[in-house]
C-alpha cells in the first residue's frame, strides 16, 4: 500500500467526512428533509492481465475488493448537504504486497449562518486518477500498475450578500482551497476573493454588474501564481426568448508563460430561449491569448436531454481537479438520486498532467440521454486541446462513449458500455520529435439480479484494449444497502 512523505495531507482530508458529520449533527440548522443510506459492496475479480503488461508478458490474477460506504443528503431552510464516502480495500491473492486502500469522497455543504446575509460553503473530494494520462489504465483503480494515485481537493468559502432594496445586490466571498496528490504532482493551497455589485429587479429587462476577483495559489515546488481581473457587464432581455449580454474588463495575471499574461478582455453573446426546455447561447470574445468563442446548448424533453458546449479559457491541472465530481447526486434530467458508493469509479485517460503549468484549454463536450420506461441510452463526446503557456508542448485528447441499460424483468437488469479515448502529447518547437500517443478502447457488459429488497447480485465482463496491452476480466459482486 503506497503512502507519501506528507501524512498530514492525507490524515486531514481522510477525516473530513467525520468532521463534516459532527459539525452537521451538532448544528441547530439540521435540515428538515434528510436521508441516510448505508451501503456495502464486495466483489471478486479474475483478470488475464493483472498488471496490464504487454501481451507477451501478461500474467493472470485474482483480487477481491470491499467497499463500505454511506450517503447523507439533506435540504432545509438553512442547510443543504450532499455527502458520499466509500473506502475501497483491494486484496490481491497473487500479490498481497500490492494491496491498496482507495478513498472516494464527494462532500458539498451550504449553510446560512445569518438569514439572507451570511453563508458558508464547504466541499471536499477524493478520487483516483492516472499519474501519466498516456500510461496504462484498466478503466478503474484496481490494476496495480503503479500509474495510479489519489487526488484530494477541499474548499472553505464564507460569503456575504446584501440587497439594496430593489436597486442592487452586493456579493462578497472569500475562499481557501487546495489540491493535494498522494504520489506525484504539485500540492497547491490557495486563496481567492471576489466582490460583485449587480442590478436588482427595479431595472427590469436591463441588467448590469461590476466585479473584481483575485486568485493566488502556491505550489509545493515552483513559484506562486496569481490571477486578477476587473470587469463590467451589461445585458438586455428583449422578451422571454431573446437576450444579449456584453462585458469588458482587464486581467492582471502572473504565471510562468512564454507569452503575455495580462490584457483587456471583451465578450458579447446572445441567448435564445424558445421554450422553458430549450436554451442556445452563442458568443465571441477577445482576451490577451486570442479569440474565445462560446457555445452553450441544452434541450430537455420528458424522456431525453441534449447538451453541447464549447469554451476557450485559461486553466491548469489544479483548476480541472477542483471541478471534478466523484459521485453524482442528480441524474441527467436534474432529478435527485442517491449515488451507489460501491460502483466502480471510472479512471480514464485524458486528464491534464498534474503539474503547475498553465494552459489555454479548448474544451468541447456534447451528450445525449434517452430514458424510457425500461431502458436508458446515452452517449457523450469530448475533445480537449491544452496549449501550455510555459512549456513547449500541447496535449490533445478525444473521447467517445455509449452506454445502455435495460430492465429485463422485475428483478433482473442488464447493462452495456463502450468507450474510446485517444491522447497525444507533442512538442510545439521541434516538429522532428515524435509525438507520444495512446489509444484506449473499453467494453463492459453485465447482468444484475435483485435477491431481496436490500441485496443485488452482479455479474460483469470487461475487455480493455490499450496501446500495447489487452485485458479480459470477469467480476462477481454483491451489493447491499440500508436507507433511512
The reply to whether 288 falls in a domain is yes
Asked if the model's pLDDT at residue 23 lies above 70, the reply is no
Percent of the chain with pLDDT strictly greater than 70: 92
Per-residue burial over 189-212, b if 16 or more Cβ lie within 10 Å, else e, is ebebebbbbebeeeeeeebebebe
Q: What is the CATH number of the domain that holds 341?
A: 2.40.170
Q: In terms of Cα–Cα distance, which of 240, 361, 254 is closest to 310?
A: 361
Q: CB atoms < 10 A from the CB of 3, how many?
A: 10
Q: How confident is the model at residue 213, as a pLDDT? A: 96
More confident position, 13 or 368: 368
What's the rounded mean pLDDT across residues 136-140? 90
Judged by average pLDDT, the poorest of 30-34, 261-265, 351-355 is 30-34
- Which residue in this structure is represented by grid cell 494552459? 359
Q: Domain total for the chain?
A: 1
**Residue 2 pLDDT class (50, 70, 90 cuts):** very low
Q: How confident is the model at residue 483, as a pLDDT? A: 86
* Torsion from C-alpha of 84, 368, 475, 346, nearest 10 degrees: -50
Q: Do 413 and 407 touch, CB atoms closer than 8 A? A: yes
The strand pairing partners of 263, in sequence order, are 251
The reply to whether 385 falls in a domain is yes
Judged by average pLDDT, the poorest of 26-40, 74-88, 118-132 is 26-40
The reply to whether 211 falls in a domain is yes
**Residue 236 pLDDT class (50, 70, 90 cuts):** very high
**Residue 4 pLDDT class (50, 70, 90 cuts):** very low
Q: How confident is the model at residue 407, as a pLDDT? A: 96
The reply to whether 2 falls in a domain is no
**Residue 11 pLDDT class (50, 70, 90 cuts):** very low
In whole angstroms, give the CA distance from residue 87 to residue 341: 9
Q: Do 131 and 147 touch, CB atoms closer than 8 A? A: yes
Q: How confident is the model at residue 231, as a pLDDT? A: 96
For residue 418, the enclosing domain spans: 7-483
More confident position, 111 or 20: 111
Torsional class of 131: left (φ above 0), alpha (ψ -120 to 50), beta (otherwise)? alpha
Residues 6+ apart with CB under 8 A from 19: none
Q: In terms of Cα–Cα distance, which of 221, 291, 218 is closest to 254?
A: 218
The reply to whether 1 falls in a domain is no
Q: How confident is the model at residue 17, as a pLDDT? A: 52
More confident position, 156 or 94: 156
All cell numbers assigned to 189: 493551497
Judged by average pLDDT, the poorest of 237-246, 274-283, 380-389, 391-400 is 391-400
Q: In terms of Cα–Cα distance, which of 189, 222, 190 is closest to 9?
A: 189
What's the rounded mean pLDDT across residues 141-152? 92
**Residue 22 pLDDT class (50, 70, 90 cuts):** very low
In whole angstroms, give the CA distance from residue 214 to residue 218: 14
Average per-residue pLDDT for the chain? 89
Q: How confident is the model at residue 269, as a pLDDT? A: 97
Model pLDDT for residues 398-452, shown as the tens digit of each residue: 999 999 999 999 999 999 999 999 999 888 776 667 778 999 999 999 999 999 9
Cα four-point dihedral sign 390, 131, 424, 55: positive
Asked if the model's pLDDT at residue 13 lies above 60, the reply is no
Q: Please give the DSSP secondary-structure letter assigned to residue 59.
A: -
Judged by average pLDDT, the poorest of 10-24, 326-340, 436-450 is 10-24
The reply to whether 59 falls in a domain is yes
For 442, counting Cβ atoms within 10 Å of its Cβ (0-12 exposed, 13-18 middle, 19+ buried), the class is: buried
Judged by average pLDDT, the poorest of 122-126, 174-178, 353-357 is 353-357
For Cα atoms 292, 293, 297, give the angle at the middle one, nearest 5 degrees. Answer: 140
Q: How confident is the model at residue 3, as a pLDDT? A: 41
Q: CB atoms < 10 A from the CB of 328, how many?
A: 12
The reply to whether 256 falls in a domain is yes
Asked if the model's pLDDT at residue 133 lies above 50, the reply is yes
Model pLDDT for residues 46-62, shown as the tens digit of each residue: 999 999 998 777 889 99
SS3 state of residue 55: helix
The reply to whether 38 falls in a domain is yes
The strand pairing partners of 79, in sequence order, are 111
Amino acid at each position: 500500500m503506497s503512502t507519501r512523505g506528507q501524512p498530514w495531507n492525507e490524515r486531514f482530508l481522510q477525516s473530513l467526512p467525520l468532521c463534516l458529520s459532527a459539525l452537521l449533527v451538532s448544528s441547530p440548522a439540521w435540515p428538515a428533509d434528510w436521508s441516510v443510506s448505508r451501503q456495502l459492496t464486495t466483489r471478486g475479480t479474475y483478470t488475464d492481465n493483472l498488471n496490464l503488461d504487454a501481451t507477451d508478458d501478461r500474467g493472470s490474477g485474482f483480487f477481491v475488493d470491499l467497499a463500505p460506504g454511506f450517503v447523507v443528503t439533506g435540504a432545509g431552510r438553512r442547510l443543504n448537504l450532499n455527502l458520499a464516502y466509500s473506502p475501497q480495500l483491494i486484496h490481491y491473492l497473487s500479490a498481497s504486497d500490492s494491496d491498496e486502500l482507495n478513498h472516494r469522497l464527494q462532500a458539498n455543504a451550504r449553510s446560512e449562518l445569518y438569514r439572507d446575509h451570511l453563508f458558508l460553503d464547504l466541499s471536499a473530494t477524493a478520487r483516483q486518477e492516472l499519474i501519466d494520462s498516456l500510461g496504462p489504465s484498466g478503466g478503474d483503480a484496481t490494476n496495480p500498475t503503479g500509474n495510479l494515485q489519489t487526488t484530494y481537493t477541499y474548499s472553505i468559502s464564507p460569503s456575504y450578500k446584501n440587497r439594496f432594496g430593489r436597486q442592487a445586490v452586493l456579493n462578497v466571498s472569500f475562499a481557501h482551497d487546495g489540491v493535494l496528490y498522494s504520489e506525484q504532482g504539485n500540492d497547491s493551497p490557495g486563496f481567492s476573493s471576489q466582490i460583485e455589485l449587480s442590478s436588482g429587479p427595479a431595472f427590469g429587462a436591463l441588467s448590469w454588474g461590476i466585479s473584481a476577483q483575485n486568485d493566488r495559489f502556491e505550489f509545493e515546488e515552483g513559484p506562486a501564481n496569481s490571477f486578477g481581473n476587473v470587469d463590467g457587464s451589461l445585458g438586455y432581455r428583449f422578451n422571454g426568448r431573446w437576450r444579449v449580454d456584453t462585458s469588458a474588463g482587464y486581467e492582471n495575471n502572473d504565471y510562468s508563460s512564454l507569452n503575455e499574461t495580462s490584457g483587456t478582455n471583451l465578450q458579447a453573446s446572445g441567448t435564445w430561449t424558445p421554450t422553458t426546455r430549450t436554451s442556445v447561447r452563442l458568443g465571441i470574445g477577445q482576451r490577451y491569448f486570442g479569440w474565445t468563442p462560446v457555445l452553450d446548448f441544452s434541450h430537455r424533453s420528458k424522456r431525453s436531454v441534449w447538451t453541447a458546449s464549447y469554451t476557450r479559457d485559461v486553466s491548469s491541472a489544479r483548476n480541472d481537479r477542483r471541478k471534478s465530481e466523484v459521485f453524482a447526486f442528480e441524474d441527467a434530467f436534474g432529478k435527485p438520486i442517491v449515488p451507489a458508493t460501491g460502483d466502480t469509479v471510472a479512471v480514464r485517460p485524458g486528464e491534464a498532467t498534474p503539474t503547475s503549468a498553465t494552459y489555454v484549454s479548448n474544451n468541447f463536450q456534447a451528450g445525449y440521454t434517452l430514458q424510457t420506461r425500461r431502458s436508458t441510452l446515452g452517449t457523450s463526446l469530448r475533445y480537449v486541446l491544452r496549449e501550455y503557456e510555459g512549456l513547449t508542448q500541447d496535449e490533445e485528447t478525444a473521447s467517445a462513449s455509449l452506454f445502455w441499460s435495460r430492465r429485463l424483468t422485475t428483478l433482473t437488469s442488464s447493462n452495456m458500455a463502450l468507450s474510446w479515448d485517444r491522447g497525444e502529447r507533442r512538442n510545439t518547437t521541434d516538429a522532428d520529435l515524435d509525438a507520444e500517443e495512446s489509444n484506449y478502447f473499453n467494453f463492459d457488459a453485465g447482468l444484475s439480479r435483485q435477491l431481496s429488497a436490500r441485496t443485488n447480485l452482479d455479474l460483469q465482463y470487461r475487455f480493455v484494449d490499450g496501446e500495447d496491452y489487452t485485458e479480459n476480466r470477469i467480476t462477481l459482486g454483491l451489493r447491499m444497502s440500508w436507507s433511512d
